[in-house]
Amino acid sequence: MFFHVKELQYEAKPERPDPVFAKKLQEILGGQFGEITVAMQYLFQGWNCRCKSKSKYRDLLLDTGTEELAHVEMIATMIARLLDGAPVKEQEEAAKNPVVEAVMGGMNPQHVIVSGLGATPTDSTGYPWNARYTIASGNLLADFRANLNAESQGRLQAVRLWEMTDDRGVKDMLAWLIARDNMHQNQWMAAIKELEACEGGKVVPTTFPREYQINEVAYTLFNFSKGNESACGRWAYGTAPDRRGTFNYVEHPKPLGQKPHLPPAPPPVHDTPRPCTK
């Protein structure tokens, strides 16, 4: 059961209207790595957590997913306030700057036509939020790594937005979100490290019998491009991070399979006829 607390988790008040920046903020609301994505991702990961012994991870996921809903409300409120009182001529003024006109196109017209000066569940280009952005596999180690990536990308975007405005109110809210992304990255790294130690492995899934994989190539880096710069990385030599194998580098890999020859499709399929041999 969810309860809505009417007060925001943190303040979301700009100093002045800015419909162009409201359009930019849509990215961290309804974009691929926006707050709607992480809220749904963490909640579904938590709801789908089946193992009773992992209850602390379920609780962590639901705690964080619920907080992300609070961030959705904060950003939606900020977008509405950036649009509040903004005259339509703001779009025309923004368009006078050729860079703004070319890159941003001024104000998002849907903020007037569709949402009536409110936020929408879309990204900064107006593309609707998509549930395919979310990952909830049932494997906590795999999911937490996806969560770490989501928080990394989300914090990066929030920092970029912080650099794009001089509005102290907007910067203040973004500074809060950036700090929370800092915490969330650290918590997922801590949880990943704990799961790796608990499960006795780093490669997902840790439960797959190693004798069933072709171990001769399990730690081999194949060079499939001109040059050999990739051989200089830590991933090309020494003990692998899972400490179960040693990296090796193959500069000129050879095909291990044969050229495929497929039989013709049956007549009812109506594929291209067999070429003439005359």
Q: 255: which residues sit within 8 A by CB, 6+ positions away?
A: none
Angstrom distance (rounded) from CA 78 to CA 24? 12
Q: Is residue 111 part of an annotated ligand binding site?
A: no
Q: Is residue 211 part of an annotated ligand binding site?
A: no
Q: Is residue 223 part of an annotated ligand binding site?
A: yes
Identify the bridge partners of residue 249 per DSSP, sorted by sequence position.
Answer: 221
Q: Is residue 105 part of an annotated ligand binding site?
A: no
Q: Is residue 67 part of an annotated ligand binding site?
A: no
Contact predicate 123/30, CB 8 Å: yes
Backbone φ, ψ for residue 166 (5° rounding): -115, 10
| E strands, 110-232, in order | 220-222
Q: Is residue 68 part of an annotated ligand binding site?
A: yes
| CA-to-CA separations, 233 to 124, 219, 236, in angstroms, rounded | 37, 14, 6
Q: Is residue 252 part of an annotated ligand binding site?
A: no
Q: Is residue 11 part of an annotated ligand binding site?
A: no
| 3-state helix, strand and coil shares in percent for the chain, rounded to the nearest 5 | 55, 5, 45
Q: Is residue 225 part of an annotated ligand binding site?
A: yes
| CA-to-CA separations, 229 to 45, 97, 225, 233, 252, in angstroms, rounded | 39, 43, 10, 8, 13
Q: 135: which residues sit within 8 A by CB, 6+ positions away?
A: 41, 45, 142, 143, 146
| CA-to-CA separations, 112 to 73, 85, 94, 108, 119, in angstroms, rounded | 19, 12, 16, 8, 10
Q: Is residue 261 part of an annotated ligand binding site?
A: no
User: Known binding site: residues?
Assistant: 35, 59, 63, 68, 71, 151, 184, 223, 225, 227
**Annotation: binding site for Ca(2+):** 59, 63, 223, 225, 227
Instruction: Summarize the annotated binding site for Mn(2+) as residue ranges.
Output: 35, 68, 71, 151, 184
